[in-house]
Structure 1
Amino acid sequence: MKAAVYYENGPPNVFKYEDVEDPACLPEGIVIEVGAVSIEGGDTLNRARGELATVPHIVGYQAAGTIIEVGEKVTDLKPGQRVTTVNFAGSHAEKRSVFARTAWAIPDSMDIRTAAAIPVPFGTAHDCLFEFGRLQKGETVLVQAGAGAVGLAAIQLAKRAGATVIATASSDDRLEKLREFGMDHGINYRTQDLVAEVKRLTDNQGVNLVVDPVGGSTLQKSVLSLGYRGRISMVGQAGREEMKLDVSTMMAGNQSLSGVFLGAEIFTDRVHNNIQKMIGEIAKGELKVVLDKNFALKDAAAAHEFIENRKAFGRVTLTP
């Protein structure tokens, strides 16, 4: 099969488009013919500095496609079925092998690019808001990097739950686009003082919850944006800055900071069933996956560069 591989960490141009061996099917797993790859923020970080579990390495968390092989211990999936999948690597290829537990059936009517972009962003956003963020109706949530896939999912889910939603983005144009997904108030973090704006919008009370996929200096601003008993769900380091954080202000406000990693519980019934439920809601139009540009698999380097230049609104995809 063809795959976008690399032999060493580095910028997007480390990618090579090469022939590699087809992946083996695990007894508890499936192999799919990939129809679309959703490029995650973690994919770009892993390419830049993550561990190379294999050499050459195929990066990538998410891909959707059609099952072409089923392991002997798998009873609930079959060849020919369309699924969306998650694994810790291997999405940037024409075929991928995953555990059946990290595959979700998708409706025949669902666009394959849409399906590829569901599990990680929506599963992560839901955990940030509810499992670890304990969001309640009537509370106020700040979603950092609202134009990213996790941000867009979090805005929709928080608004549906009855929260007031404040979101940040790098331009007024991006903020305007977020309004249709449920954002009540937008903050341009390039031109506005984020913490001052949060205080102004909340009558100096601060927010109940922050979803922060950025980290670095943004995380410090998230801390300073909290109200009494406020919570932060920290879910990434998209800003790629060194993590330096002063948490001394959190004690007086009985505030809390939780790290969130969907992968730690990806095999649980809770996560599996929750993602399957949201796939159904997306199919019904109750939630929306936002897709940006699509690239051919052979152009993986250009796709990663497009993301790292912060040009994307929603998910960027690859198709073999």
Structure 2
Amino acid sequence: MKAAVYDNPGPPTVLRYADVPDPVCGPQDVLIAVEAISIEGGDLINRRSTPQRSPWIVGYAAAGTIVAVGENVTDRTVGQRVTAFDMQGSHAELWSVPASRTWLIPNDVDMAQAAALPISFGTARHCVITRGRLNEGETVLIQAAAGGVGLAAIQLARQAGATVIAVAGGRERQARLTALGAAHVIDRFEQDVVGEARRLTDDRGVDLVIDPVGSTLQASLSALAVEGRLVFVGNAGGGGLDVDLWSPMQNNQTLHGVFMGSLFERPAVHRTVDELLEATAKRRLDVVIDQVFPLREAAKAHEYAETAKPLGRVVMTP
């Protein structure tokens, strides 16, 4: 099969399109003929910094059609359309993953949407509802609101009855973020995020912050109300994570960490992704796809995802 692989970590140019052996479908696995691959933030981080055996196929998320089923799998059959999550291997024509890490795709959801949904919307829901405990009438600040998790969090928070303050770079994004449910959009290039968040809440601060950036944690804490909650869900900014924890202690604020890689096989989380897929099929949620590249241009796709500040997910097709 063809796959995007790298031998040593580095910039997007380390990726090459190569012939590699087909994966083996294990007894608990399904083998998927991949039709859409979602480039996730973790893919970029791993490609930049994580040594692996060579050649290494990067990739967490993809969707396609099952072409083989392991001998111990009883709830999946050949021909079913599925989306899947695993810690590596999605940047390829074929992908063998545990059946427990797959979800059936409703008829009205296309492959690109399906590939991007589990991580973006699954993560956002866990942050906003499960960990963030967002209530109707509260205010939430969403850092990196134009990314996949951010766009999902806007929609879920608005549906929960909250007021959404979205943070993104560039005025050209404001209309789309507003259409998805943001009441206010802060341009991080031109405005002081903490100052604006305080102004919009009459200096009370926000009840909840969703922060997938990492390097913005100190600002996120400064924007919080007394007894507010901060959900830290990544280090997309790639910077340091130094924060002063004295202030949140004094203000009775709560910091939650979220890493979805260890949660997807939990029954409740797995069911949540099924529900999100159904909501997407009914057009209650919008999985935003910014750009689609062929897999043979994986290096170009990674560069775009890393440098072009896309609005939503970047997808590849074999």
Instruction: Give TM-score, length-normalised by structure 2.
Output: 0.99
Read off the aligned partner of 1:245 and give its amino acid letter. V
Shift of 1:51: 4.1
Q: 1:179: Cα distance to partner?
A: 0.5
1:6 aligns with 2:28: no
Residue 272 of structure 1 aligns with an amino acid whose one-letter code is H
Identity of aligned pairs, percent? 51
Is residue 209–residue 232 contact of structure 1 (8 Å, CA) maintained in 2? yes
* AA at the equivalent of 2:49: R
Does the alignment pair 1:243 with 2:268? no
- Residues in 2 aligned to 1:316 and 1:175: alpha-carbon distance in whole angstroms: 20
**Correspondence list, 1:42-191, <5 A:** 42-52=42-52, 54-191=53-190
Indicate conservation of the 8 Å contact 1:168/1:175, yes or no.
no
Alpha-carbon deviations, 1:225-279, whole Å to 9, x = none? 0001111110010101122111211112100111101111111101100000100
Structure 1 segment 180-219 matched on structure 2, within 5 A: 180-216=179-215, 218-219=216-217
- The residue number in structure 2 matching 1:272 is 270
Pairing 1:302–2:300 present:
yes
d(CA) in 1 for partners of 2:221, 2:87: 30
Q: Is the 8 A contact 1:39 1:62 kept in 2?
A: yes
| Residue type of the alignment partner of 2:298 | A
Task: Tell me what 2:225 maps to.
Answer: 227
Q: Distance in 2 between matches of 1:132 and 1:110?
A: 27
Q: Secondary structure at the match of 2:250?
A: coil
Separation of aligned partners in 2, 1:213 and 1:205: 23
Q: Is the 8 A contact 2:9 2:50 kept in 1?
A: yes
Contact preservation (8 Å) 2:140, 2:157: yes
Q: Where do 5+ consecutive residues of structure 2 fail to align?
A: none
Alpha-carbon distance between aligned partners in 2 of 1:274 and 1:50, rounded to the nearest angstrom: 30
Report whether the alignment pairs 1:21 with 2:21. Answer: yes
Q: Tell me the residue number matched to 2:314.
A: 316
Tell me the SS of whatever aligns to 1:303.
helix
Q: Equivalent residue for 1:38?
A: 38
CA offset at residue 302 of structure 1?
0.5
Deviation at 1:185, TM superposition (A): 0.6
Residue aligned with 2:154, SS:
helix
Q: In structure 1, list runs of 5 or more residues that go unmatched.
A: none
Kept in 1, the 8 Å contact 2:143–2:211? The answer is yes
Equivalent-residue separation in structure 2 for 1:184 and 1:74 (angstroms): 46
Q: Equivalent residue of 1:118, what SS?
A: helix
Aligned AA for 1:236?
A: G
Deviating above 3 A after TM superposition, structure 1's stretches of 4 or more consecutive aligned residues are none
For the aligned residue pairs, the C-alpha RMSD in angstroms reads: 0.8
Rounded to whole Å, the distance in 1 between the matches of 2:3 and 2:111 is 19
Distance 1:41 1:65 in 2: 21
152-161 vs 244-253, which deviates more?
Answer: 244-253
Following superposition, the deviation at residue 315 of structure 1 comes to: 0.4
Asked if 1 retains the 8 angstrom alpha-carbon contact of 2:107 and 2:281, the reply is no
Provide TM-score, normalisation by structure 1. 0.98
Q: What SS does the aligned partner of 1:130 have?
A: helix
Q: Secondary structure at the match of 1:258?
A: strand
Matched AA of 2:301: A
Check conservation: 1:146, 1:169, Cα contact below 8 A: yes
Q: What does 1:253-268 correspond to in 2, within 5 Å? A: 253-268=251-266
